[in-house]
Structure 1
Amino acid sequence: MQAVKQTELFDLHRDADLIVADGTPLVWVAQVKGFRDSIGRVPGADLVDAVCRLSLSTGQSHFFYGGKPGVAQRMAETLSQRYPGLRVAGIYSPPMLNIGPDFDVLELCREDMEVIRASNAGIVWVGISSPKQEYWIAKAAHAVGRGVFIGVGAAFDFHSGDIQRAPAWMRNNGLEWLYRLIREPRRLWRRYLILAPMFVLRVTAELLLRSSRRIG
């Protein structure tokens, strides 16, 4: 819904090398549109797990950029315990910044870019909330000039242990949003009580329009 309002954000999604559906409703909508066998849910936290596990054999190193003070450190420690031999190239929790389409990464984060570049990290995990992380990645990846940058948002809080994930049965039935809303109402109420219903209405209108065109 943010991308609908912000054309710059829409363009970033369109130009990304990889986009995954981190919410079950997105998968349901895609399946209704005919992508039943070619899409599945890939939450950021699960993506981190899968890539870290595979990197033990491929050798990529990881840089963890984001989270509140100490979160990236705890995330790296947790993943290193879970995957012995995991190569951690660096850890950094940046200060809160006002990041948008006109964000100048070299003016405000030049030292960060130098640290990430010097680490030679193969994968840079970014968790500074959406859409800030999308705007940051678009500028930072170009400035650093190497590595794969992946925005995973709340995965930092989940893997650090700061926030507990919803039970598997809720995640598998499209109810993780409800669990997160109950746990963090002040931060997430707008996303799930305003933007989510708007998403449902917009998707419903689009599907009805597609159906009427077929009938016509």
Structure 2
Amino acid sequence: MVVTDIADAAQFLTSRECRGGGVRTGWAVRLVGAKEVALASRDAAYRDLLASPGINFPDGLPVVWVMKLRSRSLRHRAHRVRGATLFRTALDSGRAMDVRHFFLGTTPETLTKLITATETAYPGLQIVGSWAPPFAPLDEEFFRYGAEVVTQSRADVVWVGLGAPKQDEAVVGLADRVDATFVAVGAAFDFLAGTMPEAPLWLQNSGLEWAFRLGSDPRRLWRRYLIGNAVFLSIVVRRGFGRKMVRHGDPFGTVR
């Protein structure tokens, strides 16, 4: 995991360093919460995906708590990088640097609402393209067409909302083909578009945002949160809370 906070993460994503300029392939940015840790613990392919070139930010207070428990040096430095908050912050701060944004994911209807909402909230925002891909597994046609439309748009930052683990595979594959920054932000599109309720700030800061989301959509999310959280807790208990968790195959990754 990369240790940072929302402001610094957004500044990096919109910086000239990250935006490149044709001298490298793109950046893949993944936001890792308890669900992703649980999946990585039992899926070697996904664990390898999270370990592939790119950046992992801790999106989820339980993940941050474990990072702090395993390393005293992180107790005052590790912060949650929440996807929707990072999205808002980067859209806002990027205006001063003429950052060009592309939205990839969700449905055409939600994308229309998202573009209207963000352009209203952030006057001067540059949205240079959007694409709602078909609801289907990722294949070569997805990566070919996705790389084509992003390249034509000349986007600096591509925000990807396809749900994990699909969006993590998408940002890694597209970053291999296009000189842009690809950020997997999950439900952020729905929150900003107003198509899904967002937890109050006090729940976000207490580690109970998952309970709000579960209550808002129990039929779709019960397995993710009830089973996923149980698996996450079992990983923490089995591997301990201290430095002994740092070893080959640890789904939390290497702390930097």
- Do Structure 1 and Structure 2 share a fold, with TM-score over 0.5? yes
Which structure 1 residue ranges, 5 or more long, are not aligned?
212-216
Does the Cα contact within 8 Å between 2:133 and 2:142 map onto a contact in 1? Answer: no
Residue in structure 2 matched with residue 191 of structure 1 by the alignment: 224
Report how far residue 43 of structure 1 moved: 1.0
Determine which of 159, 164, 167 is the counterpart of 1:130: 164
Letter in 1 for 2:120: Q
Matched positions, count: 205
Does the Cα contact within 8 Å between 2:102 and 2:159 map onto a contact in 1? Answer: yes
Determine which of 125, 130, 140 is the counterpart of 2:174: 140
Which structure 2 residue ranges, 5 or more long, are not aligned?
1-37, 245-256
1:92-140 Cα shifts (integer Å, max 9, x gaps): 11110123xxxx33x3453332111100000000000000011112212
User: Per residue, is there more helix in 1 or in 2?
Assistant: 1
Report how far residue 149 of structure 1 moved: 0.3
RMSD value over aligned CA atoms?
1.7
Determine which of 73, 83, 99 is the counterpart of 2:112: 73
* Distance in 2 (alpha carbons) for counterparts of 1:59 and 1:152: 21
1:39-96 Cα shifts (integer Å, max 9, x gaps): 1011110010111111111111000000123112211221111111000010111110
Residue in structure 1 matched with residue 190 of structure 2 by the alignment: 157
Q: For residues 210 and 120 of structure 1, do their structure 2 counterparts lie closer, same or farther at Cα, with a shift above 3 Å needed?
A: closer
Q: For residues 208 and 45 of structure 1, do their structure 2 counterparts lie closer, same or farther at Cα, with a shift above 3 Å needed?
A: closer
Greater relative contact order (CA < 8 Å, ≥ 6 in sequence):
2
State the TM-score, normalized to the length of structure 2: 0.76
SS at match of 2:176: helix
Runs of 4+ in 1 over 3 A off after TM superposition: 208-211
SS at match of 1:190: helix
Residue in structure 2 matched with residue 83 of structure 1 by the alignment: 122
Residue in structure 1 matched with residue 206 of structure 2 by the alignment: 173
Sequence identity percentage: 36
The structure number with the bigger radius of gyration is: 1
Q: Which moved more, 1:185-194 or 1:121-130?
A: 185-194
State the TM-score, normalized to the length of structure 1: 0.89
